[in-house]
Amino acid sequence: MTIGELAKTSGVNAKLIRHYESIGLIPKAARTESGYRFYKESDAQFLRFIKRARSLGFSIKEIKTLIGLWRNKSRASKEVKALAKNHIKELEKKIKEMQEMVDNLQSLARSCHGDSRPECPIIKSLEE
């Protein structure tokens, strides 16, 4: 499989596959005589694994750990669960921060007339 075909079957675009290789997230691909990378089916599965983990918000660094856990068939499930729980905590922390921003802004926006007059509590709150 060429890198373009792998991109199609894995859903990860070729540019990104090369990048993942360059940072050591995936192993260096085998090459044809002319230097083209070539892949096998299982490489697509690997990339899909990465893509799913990304869609759950795991960072590349966390995914490296996840890959290790994935490959280690005898590791305890509590190790994986701990990683997930920790990740959930981080996500929840960010969500909370953003929700606080929204709440603050909502209350400012509510108190702003939003008409053609220049008086604006939103701006005023930034001045203080």
Partner DNA sequence: TATTGACCTTCCAATAATGGGAAGGTGGAA
Partner DNA sequence: TTCCACCTTCCCATTATTGGAAGGTCAATA
Contact residues toward a second copy (CB under 8 A) are 45, 48-49, 52-53, 55-57, 66, 69-70, 73-78, 80-82, 84-85, 87-88, 91-92, 94-95, 98-99, 101-102, 104-106, 108-109, 112-120, 122-123, 125-128
Contact flag: residue 60 with DNA (CB under 7 A): yes
Q: How far is the CB of 12 from a second copy (least distance, A)?
A: 14
Return the beta strands (E) in 7-109 as ranges.
30-31, 37-38
Residue corresponding to tokens 């966390």: 62
C-alpha angle with apex 14: 12 to 19, nearest 5 degrees?
A: 90
DSSP collapsed to 3 states, 87-125: HHHHHHHHHHHHHHHHHHHHHHHHCCCCCCCCCCHHHHH
Give whichever of 104 and 111 is closer to DNA, judged by the CB atom: 104
The least CB distance from residue 91 to DNA, in Å, is 13
Give the Cα separation of 14 and 17 in Å (integer).
5
* Contact map string, positions 40 to 59, toward DNA, x by CB under 7 A: --------------x----x
| Contact residues: DNA, CB under 7 A | 2-5, 7, 13-16, 18-19, 29, 32-37, 54, 59-61
